Amino acid sequence: MNALETAWDRVTAISPAPQAWVVPLAALVAVVIVLEPHLWQVARNVVTIAHEGAHLIVAVLVGRRLKGLRLHSDTSGVAISSGKPTGFGVIVMTFAGYVGPSILGLGAAALLGAQRAVLVLWIGLFVVAVMMVLIRNLYGVFSLAVVGAALFALVWWGSAELQVAAAYFLTLFLLFAGPRPVVELQRQRSRRGGAPDSDADQLARLSPIPAIVWVTLFFVVNVGVLAVGGWWILRPVIA
């Protein structure tokens, strides 16, 4: 029982306020990673995990049955669920992928505002653990294991200050990263051959709304969430 109480205390602990330099530095590092091509190619794996995780979370919420998950070395992924092939639930589940990282970042920003930085990391660890049960390929196991190990090390052995800094960085990274995959998606769609199996094109087949409108919605939502979440985080620093 003591071990459970200790774990619960860690999960629900009130986090100290970040030092004055933490938020600006975390934001700067997040922006550099998103903009620098080589760093982005590695970090995009985290965005893919959030993207596919969003598909899976919404699939459960709309009553679909989870079947599996694949993460690939080219940073693509596939979340597999069963249920009705058409309808509002499928549309919401499909839409969730490209806005998922940003929405997760917004939720994390709200937790940071409530001084629950360590809870951000625990939630991330829990989601990775659930995805590990569903993963169906070796590269996916490797990707989730690396991210999960980093999160576990932070929540179990990291100091309170390190946990706060990591939570702010992860949150800001998800917020800043959200729009870039949408831009990449449209570039891919604009090339010869397009991307007929992309989420936007699937949504166009599921609804009367053209794919380009769905891409625009992805982008508008992600930029809007970046503005709101960024303001929540940076406002105390600017004030």
pLDDT in tens, 132-173: 999 999 999 999 999 999 999 999 999 999 999 999 999 999
Kindly state the tokens that stand for 155: 């929540």
Residue 78 scores a pLDDT above 90: yes
pLDDT value for 34: 98
CA atoms of 174 and 26, how far apart (whole Å) = 12
pLDDT band at 4 (very low <50, low <70, confident <90, very high): low
> For 53-67, 112-126, 183-197, 217-231, which range has the lowest pLDDT when averaged over its residues?
183-197
Side-chain half-sphere of 22: how many Cα atoms within 13 Å?
A: 21
Torsion of the alpha carbons at 233, 236, 237 and 239, rounded to the nearest 10: 140
The runs of H, that is alpha helices, within the chain are 2-12, 22-35, 37-61, 88-113, 117-134, 138-157, 160-177, 179-190, 199-206, 211-238
- Per-residue confidence (pLDDT) for residue 3, from 0 to 100: 63
Q: Provide, rounded to the nearest whole percent, the portion of the chain with pLDDT above 70.
A: 96
Among candidate residues 173, 222, 185, 156, the one with its CA nearest the CA of residue 6: 156
Span 85-99, average pLDDT: 96
Decide if pLDDT at 239 tops 70.
Answer: no
CA dihedral (59, 60, 62, 63) positive or negative: positive
How large a percentage of the chain has pLDDT more than 90? 87
Distance between CA atoms of residues 11 and 82, nearest Å: 33
| Count of C-beta atoms within a 10 Å radius of residue 44 | 20
Q: Answer yes or no: is pLDDT of 110 > 80.
A: yes
Q: What is the pLDDT of residue 212?
A: 96
DSSP conformation class of 12: H
- DSSP conformation class of 64: P
Residue 2 pLDDT: 67
Which position has the higher pLDDT, 38 or 4?
A: 38
Residues 6+ apart with CB under 8 A from 9: none
Q: Which residue has the tokens 């917004």?
A: 106
Q: Is 8's pLDDT higher than 80?
A: no
- 53, pLDDT greater than 90: yes
Average predicted confidence (pLDDT) for the chain: 94
> What is the tens place of the pLDDT at every residue in 194-213?
788 999 999 999 999 999 99
CA triplet 127, 171, 142: central angle to 5 degrees? Answer: 45
Q: Are strands 65-71 and 77-82 parallel, antiparallel or unpaired?
A: antiparallel
